[in-house]
Amino acid sequence: MEWMGDVNHHRIKTNGIWMHVAEKGEQGGPLVLLLHGFPDTWFSWRHQIPHLASHGYHVLAPDLRGYGDSDSPLSPTSYTIFHIIADLLGLLDHFNHQQVFVVGHDWGAEAAWRLSLFRPDRVKGMVALSVPFFPRSPDISPTQFFKQSYGDDLYISQFQEPGRAEKAFAKYDYLTVMKKFLLMDKLVSPPGMEFIDCLVTPSESGFTGGLNYYRAMDLNWELQAAWQGSKVTVPSKLIIGDKDIGFGGTKEYVVGDVFKGLVPDAEVVILEGHHFIQQEKPKEVSDQIISFLDKLAA
């Protein structure tokens, strides 16, 4: 891609780890932080990075801890949402930005929601792709919920045991693993698989870093008890695919009064597509992000 040569790459010390960050755009422009999910890296934003930069934004797309060229602690306890948020705050401080626009997909969307919840003073506005804000359940942990709702065969349940998924994945090459995983849970359609070949290989620790996000889910649930019932007050936009497997069971929540009550200043956009919407519908998603940020940056 022609724009690849214009992207600057850094390794920055933040919150006790080294984080790899891809950067593009004028440093004097509004800062946009792009946060990827599982099993991606910064490269999942390859379509949005040049689009945002061409509109005057200063773009940072890190490899979150556990991915790509960022450090990958081995223990799941090093992957709580507070570790992730502290990594991001250190990144903002490094680039001397008090406030930022945040765009996140999948686990990156979860990080964007929680950054907006915990530190609204640091967020001008946020866009979440594929994952809405969900309140903390007071009665049941996440792993118990998924087990009761979907049984032990759901990938989230299978990821909980350290080493189990790694052992299964080791039987195949990286791209085969990703294609089997994504098609198994209908996260993409077969015609939409082209982008898988563009994924960057996992970190030196293999898949463990990314899997540890799932293994820290119950610990996150325990640690966030103090935020029970809290609302996200930051201006927000949710972009979700109508064929996203997660949207099927949450449609009424997303388009209803409950979500609006928890995120009062929220806009919801439903596009035709699946879970990896920013890669399946790159132009539509880029335009939706720009239209939202431009209103807040004006």
The yes-or-no answer on residue 275 being catalytic is yes
State the sign of the Cα–Cα–Cα–Cα dihedral 169, 200, 106, 215: positive
Note the pTM of the prediction, 2 decimals.
0.91
Taking Cα atoms as reference points, which of 220, 283, 185 lies closest to residue 84?
A: 220
| Cα–Cα distance, 199 to 178 (Å, whole number) | 9
- Regarding the domain delimited by 2-136+167-212+229-297, which CATH topology (the fold level of the hierarchy) does it fall under? Rossmann fold (3.40.50)
Q: Which residue in 67, 25, 21, 30 sits closest to 49, CA to CA? A: 25
Could you report the per-residue pLDDT of 121-178, keeping only the tens digit for each? 999 999 999 999 999 999 999 999 999 988 888 888 889 988 888 888 777 766 676 6
Q: Which of the residues 67, 106, 244, 274 is marked catalytic?
A: 106
| Catalytic residue selected from 63, 214, 244, 274 | 214
Task: For 207-261, write each residue's pLDDT tens digit.
Answer: 899 999 999 999 999 999 999 999 999 999 999 999 998 888 889 999 999 999 9
User: What would the two tokens of residue 171 be?
Assistant: 């039987």
DSSP SS3 for 252:
helix
Find the catalytic residue in 36, 83, 105, 275: 275
> In the chain, where are the structural domains located?
2-136+167-212+229-297
For the question of residue 69 being annotated catalytic, the response is no
Are the C-beta atoms of 114 and 85 separated by less than 8 Å?
A: yes
